Amino acid sequence: MEKLTKIAACLAGLVILIAVATGCHEREQAKVGETEYLEEITIKQLQQGYREGKFTVAQVVNDYLTRIEELDKNGPVLNSIIAINPEAIRIAQELDSELAAGKSRGPLHGIPVILKDNIESKDSMPTTAGAVVLKNSYVWRDSHVAKKLREAGAVIIAKANLSEWANFRASLSSSGWSGVGGQTRNPYDTERNPCGSSSGSGVAVAANLCAFAIGTETNGSIVCPSNNNGIVGLKPTVGLISRTGIIPISFTQDTPGPMARTVEDVAVCLGIMVGVDSTDAKTLNPDAVFYSDYSKFLKRDGLKGKRIGLLTNVSGFHFKVDTLMKQSVDAMKQAGAEVVAIDFPVSREVDNASFEVLLYEFKDGLNRYFASLGESARVKNISELIKFNLNDSVELMYFDQQLLEMAQSKGDLNSPEYKKNLEMMQTGMRKQGIDRIMNEYKLDALVAPTGSPAWKTDLVDGDHFLGGSSSYAAIAGYPSISVPMGFIDGLPVNISFIGKAWSEAELLSIAYSYEQATHQRKKPMLE
């Protein structure tokens, strides 16, 4: 019997290895035309469909995987997915069994989600950050975010491509490019860029390849792909959601966040992921405000009586964006808000201090991450990573690794220079920045365009950013939410609402009211 048990275990292991190697999964083959019911479907509608027996979790997961196969890898070749979860159908079937037994884990039971591939999950998929050095890094552990989602019944169906190392590697880059996954493409125009670093997450949501996705942001990496792909993205206050199990850039600025097609879906997802984690000190802040249900704050009249500060200095980079902002301001006023014009630029000193902090913290965080991989790590520190890349045929094909080299040259986190810059950036963007401005003008939120229409992808000269507003919330570690604002020549652009620390409930209320007053989300026309 013992011998048979060992043989069975070996065979099971072989099956897992084959599944991992081939990305295979037992599922029915379907056509994209048969999956149209998933286009723009919401979490609430999926849950209702399960209750009424219109479809099963396994069917929904199967059909999302069909859409990935036909629209992401074939068809327009969006290339937003870096790995498929070979266990997704099995997990879906287990969740169907729970529903049949009258059990539900909550509002995300049976809801398919895609994780950015710098977020660990114990499914049979590597966690790579898009880097060749990690392309076979199977961690067999869940990040805190993945654990929370899994406990709530969400089905992790895939990992999303991203800008390699979350876009903190080179002197210039093409957002959405990684050594492992190649170039992600914009679903509204595949010659244009999806923005990054949560590029694959943004594209997957926009193209209806999942119900929602999880991205991460250090500065712009949730809100910019939300802008370029016409979806809703929330960058929370740093510490609202744990970063444990996420490949880091910055202890001070990093945060995961939900990306979806509606504000309501973002709110539902947010409540599942928030909370204290003893392994992430930022979540232990005594001032933190956590809610298990953010959807209760969504009100159509959420703009009524609000004072909104319009950042007039975040303008002029594109006249058509300025036109849409004027229309948005009018819509907010019609919804009962008072809009106050404010000139509040990000100072060069604060911006430079933030960059220095990122370099120090990237070195420290990445070295710690490699150490957490134990003997399986191909490199032990950032110095070995730099050497690895020099000898790789893909990594330096288009872009250099200047930021890696700059980070390696820094000292540790006890450095006086690090501490001075940390204090400068936080005081400048918090106490003397957002807090001061909002208190002085008695504001409920700040507002600005998220960015410009998507630029053409360029592997020679890199990204062509025209302007944006992500640095305010990013450097402060405060929340912002990006919502569809309209289209310019067929390309989406978004508006961002920014608030004080722990003001997610207020921002969601404002964003929902704006969304319901304007209804600017439109799906891409994929063929």
Any alpha helices (H) in 220-318, and if so which ranges? Answer: 223-229, 263-273
Residues noted as catalytic: 116, 197, 221
Residue 355 three-state SS: helix
Look-up of token digits 């969740």: 95
CA 81 – CA 68 distance, rounded (Å): 8
Residues with Cβ within 8 Å of residue 404, at least 6 apart in sequence: 165, 169, 382, 385, 386, 389
CA 511 – CA 155 distance, rounded (Å): 27
DSSP states of 160-225 as a string? E--SHHHH-SSSS--TTEETTTEE--BTTBTTB---SSSHHHHHHHHTTSSSEEEEEESSSTTHHH
In one-letter notation, the amino acid at residue 56 is T
In sign, the C-alpha dihedral spanning 279, 284, 285, 288 is positive
Distances (CA, A) of 350 to 32, 116, 172, 521: 49, 29, 21, 34
In sign, the C-alpha dihedral spanning 24, 25, 26, 29 is negative
Query: Which of 149, 492, 146, 452 is CA-nearest to residue 318?
Result: 452
For strand 491-498 and strand 480-488, is the pairing parallel, antiparallel, or unpaired? antiparallel
> ω into residue 197 within 30 of 0, thus cis?
yes
List the structure tokens of 325: 């902002």
Using a 10 angstrom Cβ sphere, with 0-12 exposed, 13-18 middle and 19 or more buried, the burial of residue 55 is: middle
CA 94 – CA 103 distance, rounded (Å): 11
Distances (CA, A) of 421 to 177, 358, 404: 30, 10, 19
